[in-house]
Amino acid sequence: MKKVKDQMMIDRLADAAREGRISRRSFMNYSVAAGMTASAATGLWGTSAKAAPSKGGNFRLGAHDGNTSDTHDPGTYVTFSMIQVAHTFRAYLTLIEPDGTLGPDVASEWSATPDAKEWTFKINENATFHSGAKVTANDVIASMNHHRGEESTSAAKALLADVVDLVDNGDNSVTFKLGSANADLPWLMTDYHLPIIPANDDGTANWQSGDGCGPYKLTSAEFGVNYTFERHDGWHLEGAYFDAVEVIVLNDPNARQTALVTGDVDAVTQLELKTLALLQRDPNLLIDNVPSAAAITMPMLVDTAPFDNVDVRNALKLSVNREELIEKIAFGAASVGNDFHHSPAMPYWPDIEQRQYDPDQAKSLLKKAGAEGLEVNLSVADSVYSGAVDMCVLYSEHAKAAGIKINVVREPNDGYYSDVWLKKPWCAVQWGARPTPDVMYSLAYKDDAAWNESRWKNPRFNELLRQAKAELDDAKRAEMYREMATLARDDGGTVIPFFPNFVYARRKNVGHGENLAASWPCDGARAASRWWFEG
């Protein structure tokens, strides 16, 4: 067959590449499809694609979820808007790159002893605080100690529970000594609670001042309202193209989206999924729909009847039509769950056969368990996820086909996570994104974890979890996580219908790189340092 060169298609592709609307991989695919040779396509990409991002401008980001009572104390960071703010003016030892790999930030390199019990982080020589002082080992130790010890009120206390000692090696490096092996420690350092903040003379961390070593320095902060920043000249990494950044808290979805449409802000951190189809029609907006590691889970307490029977659990897992939930509740912006808490957006994701909606098999499992005509309560609150109650009602409709009666119990939003979660036999929960499967499993699936939300205690799973923690060989770890995922899927007590995407948007004149980090909305909450205004 003769290859026809589709010039119109190629021109459009070149335009798309120029405006940064297309990734290199898609560009190559389409160009070759349009009749170009691979080498010509590479050349065209090089000449048309956005070269160096341009500098300048004041970037205004409309952020959701802010509260007047937010503070600069990283130990109590809890709102999404503070996560955006933190990544704008503070810096962490390591960071998640747009392609999902682990990259250097304040730490320029790191290494472990073979038993993964001691990790040494070398501090970037160029890293400075906005006050001008260099980042020292002392600052790193003070920043970590802020979350450790009896007196600490930090929400990240559990994360660093394994750290026994922090040692200043005297050569601008810090060694973390762990009580038990942890191959994921460098990943843990990306946690938003753990920025590097300057140390006081007495060794405590000075979080109150608002000084940081991130890409921008804070010029004003009115909590729950807005924050302004200007570029920190001499920041130790590439990027920070904007001259100034403003984070404006816009809690109301309508206000947020209107502000974007009218150009009062340049980007927003979250869109309401219901209006996604309408916003897509606006030619001035570009929408980013990024699969994330956040998850909706429905843990059943496996020590409580009827969930103590694995066949009942699996029958319930088979009685949900996940595709329909994604289509109707998440408006398509989610990736399907497979009943193990390991999203495709996390490293080491195992591709295990997808569990399908199969009421007949569910029925036969119930028969085997002697639990025909099963009736169970499912607790949920509106605040769990937009449309959470509808989601559970839809689930109960699906389950009818398997002869299961699910009573959806609507609980109050207030106190849901203290009175319902971990207490009611079956409830719906939303989990934020965690960087690695180990962190997720250790938090909520390990037998003695405080938040073991299904009280599932599988010895083999826990043995593997312990082994994988100490395994520095990636291939071996991936194999362990595959086995653990299979165990959680087929024996565990948690139904995972889907992993919701991060859906956010920007004005057409805002450009970003080929990939977007999946850890937080807006490129891992680093839009301020990674994005730019098109020339």
Residue 330 contacts residue 498 (beta carbons within 8 Å): yes
CB of 220 or CB of 356, closer to another protein: 220
Closest approach of Cβ 429 to another protein, in Å?
8
Q: Nearest approach, Cβ of 226 to another protein (angstroms)?
A: 6
Residue 245 C-beta: closest distance to another protein, Å: 14
What is the distance between the alpha carbons of residues 195 and 435, in angstroms, rounded to a whole number?
16
CB of 174 to another protein, least distance (A): 24
Backbone angles phi, psi at 75, to 5 degrees: -70, -20
Nearer to another protein, 40 or 261 (CB): 261
Helix H or strand E segment including 380: strand 375-380
Which of 39, 418 has the CB closer to another protein?
A: 418
Structure tokens at 460: 């083999």
User: For residues 47 and 413, which CB has a smaller minimum distance to another protein in the complex?
Assistant: 413
Q: Which is nearer to another protein, 304 or 383 (CB)?
A: 383
Residues 6+ apart with CB under 8 A from 238: none
Phi and psi angles of residue 246, each rounded to the nearest 5 degrees, phi first: -130, 130
CB of 171 to another protein, least distance (A): 34
Q: Residue 451: what residue type?
A: W
Full DSSP string of 121-144 = EEEPTT-B-TTSPBP-HHHHHHHH
Is the torsion defined by CA of 441, 443, 448, 454 positive or negative?
Answer: negative
Torsion of CA 454, 459, 460, 463, to 10 degrees: 100
| Residues near 400 by beta carbon (within 8 Å), at least 6 away in sequence | none
Between 32 and 225, CB nearer to another protein: 225
CB of 94 to another protein, least distance (A): 20
For another protein, the closer CB: 310 or 422: 422
The residue (of 45 and 417) whose beta carbon lies closer to another protein is: 417
CB of 103 to another protein, least distance (A): 25
CA gap 45, 51 in Å, rounded? 10
Tell me which residues touch another protein (CB under 8 A). 67-71, 76, 78, 150-155, 157-158, 220, 222-226, 228, 248-252, 254-255, 258-259, 261-262, 264-265, 412, 414-415, 417-419, 421, 450-451
Q: Which one, of 317, 247, 297, 202, lies nearest residue 58 by Cα?
A: 247
Shortest separation between residue 412's beta carbon and another protein, angstroms: 7
Give the per-residue SS3 of 401-469: CCCCEEEEEECCCCCHHHHCCCCCCEECEEECCCCCHHHHHHHHCCCCCCCCCCCCCCHHHHHHHHHHH
Closer to another protein by CB, 43 or 149: give it: 149
For residue 288, the surrounding DSSP H or E stretch is strand 285-290
Minimum separation from the CB atom of position 263 to another protein (A): 9
Q: How far is the CB of 149 from another protein (least distance, A)?
A: 9
Amino acid code (one letter) for 250 = L
Whichever of 138 and 152 has its CB closer to another protein, that residue is 152
E strand or H helix at 494, and its extent? strand 494-500
Kindly list the distances between the CA atom of residue 326 and the CA atoms of 331, 332, 337, in Å, as whole numbers in the listed order. Answer: 6, 5, 10
